Amino acid sequence: MELAGARPHATRGPAGGLAIGLLYSSLLLNAIFLAHHFLLSPSRPLLRDDDGGGSSCGLTWSLQAAREAEAVAAVECSGHGQVFLDGVAGEDGRPGCECNSCFAGPDCSLRTPNCTADADSGNPLFLEPYWRRHAAASAVVFSGWHRMSYTTTGRFQSVELERQIRRLHRAVGNAVADDKHLVFASGSLQLINALVHALSPDATAASPPSRVVAAAPYYPSYRSQTSMFDGREYRWAGTTALWTNASRTNSTDGFIEFVTSPNNPDAMLRKPVLCSSAAAIVDHAYYWPHFTHIPAAADEDIMMFTISKPSGHAGSRFGWALIRDDKVAERALDYLSNSNMGASRDTQLRMLGIVRFMLANLHGEDDIFGFGHGVMRSRWLRLSAVVSRSRRISLQKIMPEYCTYFNRVRQPSPAYAWVKCEREEDGDCYEALLKANIISRTGVQYEASSRYTRISLLKSDDDFDVLMERLQELVDAEKHDDASNGSSSM
């Protein structure tokens, strides 16, 4: 039979025609068999949409969850809000829009007139547009029986997530992680007391309680967490300025110093103030390329991080510590095991997907640090341009610096503006800004002068736009007052 090489005008005999018929019949039977096996067999059911539409590509138990998530994500809320799966259901049984500050209405289309700018919290919503753009790659769906056990591959910690976090530090170049223990927690807030406990003497020991200190201005939760738990092994002992004489005489045994670098609130890179005999817990929450330059990989004995700052997922409540010493790491793990048996297994799975996606796109077009730095740099430039016209308020000075991650000199992009009120009558800077319809966070909370207040630059685009409007009005009013005073004196 010469089917492949048959001449176009050759005459086929009866035997040739029969052979061709048998071949076509065989192909047809094979096609029917394959369709039955892959599409109609019980192990591979053909699923259709509820309305009898197209195929669902073999999805079974995850199909309904995917539909619900897609339906919620498709609601626009006029670009000024979001719908969440766990939102409050309306009369139709569906969750409605949750509007950004200064917006209202069923679809968040109504702008609130003369709205107060809320620049208090460090809610990292500036990264929300990034994850909306990458919804498919960052989505996680898991079954109802996912990790029902108390334990996982590494007791209470995902071994694979540990590996990916170490890869992230190595790739970004912000911390040496490979020679340290990695300890998970429900956000960095839980780590504060876990690490203080791990560094303090045992409650039954004869040693005096550890003294926990920080240099002002410092993150207030160091003080509030230490004071709230009120352990017999440690106590809050104020700012490092109270103990500088002890530091000079090299007698700081029993001290635990919190160091935040970059600092919250002023974005400065910091080192421990007390001498080497004091234990240091270095909080590197903001030591990522979208907030600060990375001069070198940090390599302190104890370092804290939180996912809320590199990825923006503050609501997932996930943090980790890198700890060099075996005994300190074991005591921290014991504390976390006894308090809540480690971070949520569901959260760990979601963070695994997030970290993997971040790693896959480093230095590329979809690099989260490139995106984040672009947003924060733009906000700092806009803020600086407005404040530069004022003699009433000023900002901290931050210089461009070389960054090993970007391999170039990068412009400042701090998470917060540390605002100083310059006029004598503005002794309480928080109150001065509040009169201008700007909610900030007073410097008193950081054990700094009331002449300072912190403004968050991390929130949504809507929040930042309202902040800029109120600041512009403040500066314009100042110029108007100066002009009026000048004309009346002539």
One of 3.50.50.60, 3.90.1150.10, 3.40.50.2300, 3.30.565.10 is the CATH number of 368-480, namely 3.90.1150.10
Mean pLDDT of 189-213: 90
User: Above 60 in pLDDT, residue 18?
Assistant: no
Q: What is the pLDDT, as a whole number, of residue 146?
A: 85
Question: Number of helices and strands (H, E) in the chain?
Answer: 13, 19
**Calpha distance 208→206 (Å, rounded):** 7
CATH 2.10.25.30 residue ranges for the chain: 62-111
Q: Residues spanned by CATH 3.90.1150.10 within the chain?
A: 368-480
- What is the tens place of the pLDDT at every residue in 65-93? 888 889 888 999 999 999 999 999 888 88
Render pLDDT for 27-45 as a digit per residue (tens, 0 to 9): 444 444 434 443 333 333 3
Q: Identity (one letter) of the amino acid at 292? A: T
Every domain of the chain with CATH number 3.40.640.10 lies at: 159-361
CATH topology for the 159-361 domain: Aspartate Aminotransferase; domain 2 (3.40.640)
Cβ atoms < 10 Å from Cβ of 465: 13
**Rounded to whole angstroms, how far apart are CA atoms 287 and 188?**
14
Please give the CATH topology (third level) of the domain spanning 62-111: Laminin (2.10.25)
pLDDT tens string 212-236: 999 999 999 999 999 998 888 999 9
Convert 271-287 to b/e letters by CB count within 10 Å (16 or more is b).
ebbbbeebbbbbbbbbb
Strands (E), 96-173: 98-99, 103-104, 110-111, 117-118
